[in-house]
Structure 1
Amino acid sequence: MIPALLLLLIALLMACLALFIVFRVLRNPTTSRVLNRLAQGQPQPAARVGGLLWLDRAFLQAGLPRPSERLRLWLGLWLGAMLLAGLAGGWMAVLACLLLLPPLCLKLYLSWRYHRQVRRMVEQLPPLLDHAVRSLKAGRTLADAVLNAIDASSDPLKTALGRVSRNVQLGVSLPEAVQDVAELYEREEFRLFALGLKVNQRYGGNASELLENLITLIREREQGARQLKAMTGETRFTAMVLAVLPLLVLVYFMLTNPAYLPKMWSDASGQHLLLTALAMQVIGCFTLWRMVRSV
């Protein structure tokens, strides 16, 4: 009885949170939306990430359009699906299928898109810097060389660094504009780029030599990352097998004896065993992930 009440309380809290978010979005006036559109090119400090801004930030990092305009529709569909699942299959179905699965899938998809996007951007950064070095040697200023290199680059780096061009046109200095992109995508290569521009702006020096050294550093970091990935391939494959093996055993039981797990779930001790196994699987996957990340 107590677990059922706890699940009901969690579902009600999530429903109230969804209604609160919808209410906040509905109260957002048109002028605020217009101001938000006008401020899209301005650097956003990291301290402002809160409320719904984290979702916009995650979509922006993944190279997807902002979800704020359709947020009411998606929240309404999600809430309606939770209510239907609660009426049809009980609150356990709401917790397992609708309350946890969609956010988890969305998080995994955004994370996959973000890492793929950033990896391609880092691969395109040395050619962009090389183009800027050639422009500097042709007599251009540092800002003109970087902006010209951004225009000559290809997606996704061109789209991501388009924020730099817009910010510079709005009066933001080039180092601050690049720092904004570095804080958005949270990559050391962009932070080193912004740091080099700041040092050159404050103390002067040979900008072409600075960019050439940065190109060498980025390529050496990329080569080291590839070597580390090749050296830890066996460890990562072992972790993947150990994480997937219990799920394969579960599928095998469902195919060979479909009535086994439902009967086990109908018993109180069986429920405790299954929930304990699920908790151990989650803890094990998290531990393996941390071990692989620490190598």
Structure 2
Amino acid sequence: MSSQAWFAAALFVGSLATLLVMVQLGWGYLRSRRQINQAIRTRLTPANENSGLGGARVDLGPLEKLLVQGDIRWSMQRLVMMSVVLLLALAMVAVSRGVVVLLVVLFFVVTVIGIWWRMRFQKQRQVIHEELPGVMAAVLRNIDAGRSLEHSLIAAFDESSPVFSPLVFRLRNAIEAGREYTRLFEDFAELYKVPAMVLVAIALRTTSRFGSSIRPVLEQVSTSLRSQQALRQEFMAATAETRFTAISFAIIPPALAAFMVLINQEYSDALLNTSTGHSLLLIAGVLQMVGMLVMWRMIQGVGRG
């Protein structure tokens, strides 16, 4: 490349780095203000209100929520470094190949990241659905062994998968502080889109309010969860072919387009360096997004958010 191109690339990278630093500073300022406001609200809340239904909650920020849902255990420094590397790579693509190639690469990058995060999120939900009936059975066994309900819950969830770690940590703190903890199960159900956890919260809240025995309620909840899990497995097995077809139809067109661009230089030049090719790329991208959205809505079913 010429000296002017290198200068433009260096100027673009410098501007991008400055923008990233400004965004990081702004994010840190907003996060600190949010923590201060939350601390003020906690101090101004009366003690009797804290002990009621508004007790312990699972309060996560937008970025932290996405990381927890996808079981991504990255530090903030690592996340920032990977974001910087990705932005620099996109900047080099924009400088060397143009804006159109940048948009195509950005589409593929966003699609791959979204699919990867969705797969991890669905894996987390599957683990919760599979282990929750066993956790309720473990709670009953701990109660039979002479433990209290609170310690039985902590012991049962401690022996489960790490996916329950955010719940166990807050549950233990709430119980040790003597706060209301049933809302934690509702927040956890909303976090992972698992309605079965709401049944557990209702059972615990009913017992704490009316003083009834927790054993028959938990037995009914465990039976209901096992029935739901059996129905969900039957549904997933019955729709496996449809879901595989939908995923194939969503992946094959962009993969085939990328393969044709890589092996055919003339086709690549006509597609990336002419106005007609740009129009075709725009139309294909819009149609691909619409098709993926339609198929995603079609394969939604039991256990899917």
Q: Could you say whether these structures have the same fold, taking a TM-score greater than 0.5 normalized by the shorter chain as the test? A: yes
Matches of residues 265-284 of structure 1 in structure 2 within 5 Å? 265-284=272-291
Q: Which has the higher contact order (CA 8 A, sep 6+)?
A: 2
4+ residue segments displaced more than 6 Å: 28-36
Structure 2 partner of 1:7: none
Cα distance 1:18–1:195, how it changes in 2: closer, same or farther (>3 A)? farther
Deviation of residue 290 (structure 1)? 1.1
Secondary structure, in 3 states, of the residue corresponding to 1:139? coil
Change in Cα spacing, 1:195 to 1:128, as seen in structure 2 (3 Å) is same
- Taking the aligned partners of 2:238 and 2:191, their CA distance within structure 1 comes to 30
Q: Distance in 1 between matches of 2:109 and 2:207?
A: 47
CA distance in 1, matches of 2:280, 2:33: 55
2:67 pairs with one of 34, 38, 59: 59
Provide the residue aligned with 1:77 in structure 2: 85
**1:191-225, Cα deviation, whole Å (9 max, x unpaired):** 21112111111122221111111111111111111
The Cα shift of 1:33 comes to 8.8
- The residue type paired with residue 25 of structure 2 is F
Match of 1:21 in 2: 23
Over the matched positions of the two proteins, sequence identity in percent amounts to 24
Q: Tell me, in whole angstroms, the C-alpha distance in 2 between the residues paired with 1:190 and 1:31.
A: 32
What per-residue deviation string (whole Å, max 9, x for no partner) do you get for residues 101-139 of structure 1?
Answer: 444433332222122122112211112111111222333
Instruction: Tell whether 2:96 aligns with 1:88.
Output: yes
TM-align CA RMSD: 3.6
Normalising by structure 1, we get a TM-score of: 0.76
The 1:21/1:106 distance shift into structure 2, 3 A limit, reads: farther
Q: How far did residue 29 of structure 1 move? A: 9.6
Q: Gapped runs of 5+ residues in structure 1?
A: 1-10
Q: Any conservation in 2 of the 1:56–1:67 contact (CA below 8 Å)?
A: no
Q: CA deviation at 1:67?
A: 4.0
SS in 2 for 1:259: helix
Which stretch of structure 1 is more off in the superposition, 118-127 or 246-255? 246-255
Q: Are 2:132 and 1:125 equivalent residues in the alignment?
A: yes
Q: Which residues of 2 match residues 184-195 of structure 1 at below 5 A? A: 184-195=191-202
Amino acid at match of 1:226: Q
Q: CA deviation at 1:100?
A: 4.5
Instruction: Name the structure 2 match of 1:4.
Output: none
User: What is the CA–CA distance in structure 1 between the aligned matches of 2:71 and 2:95, rounded to whole Å?
Assistant: 37
Shift of the 182–169 alpha-carbon distance from structure 1 to 2, 3 Å rule, reads farther
Q: Is residue 2:235 matched to residue 1:221? A: no
Aligned 8 A contact 1:121 1:156 in 2: no
- Once the two structures are overlaid, the 10-residue window that deviates more, 265-274 or 216-225, is 265-274
Structure 1 CA distance for aligned equivalents of residues 111 and 250 of structure 2: 17
Q: Structure 1 residues 162, 290: CA separation in 2 closer, same or farther (over 3 Å shift)?
A: same
Q: Which residue of 2 aligns with 1:154?
A: 160
Counterpart of 2:176 in structure 1 is: 169
Q: 1:252 to 1:72 in 2, by over 3 A?
A: closer
Residue aligning to 1:289: 296
Residue 60 of structure 1: how far off its partner (Å): 1.4
1:203 counterpart residue number: 210
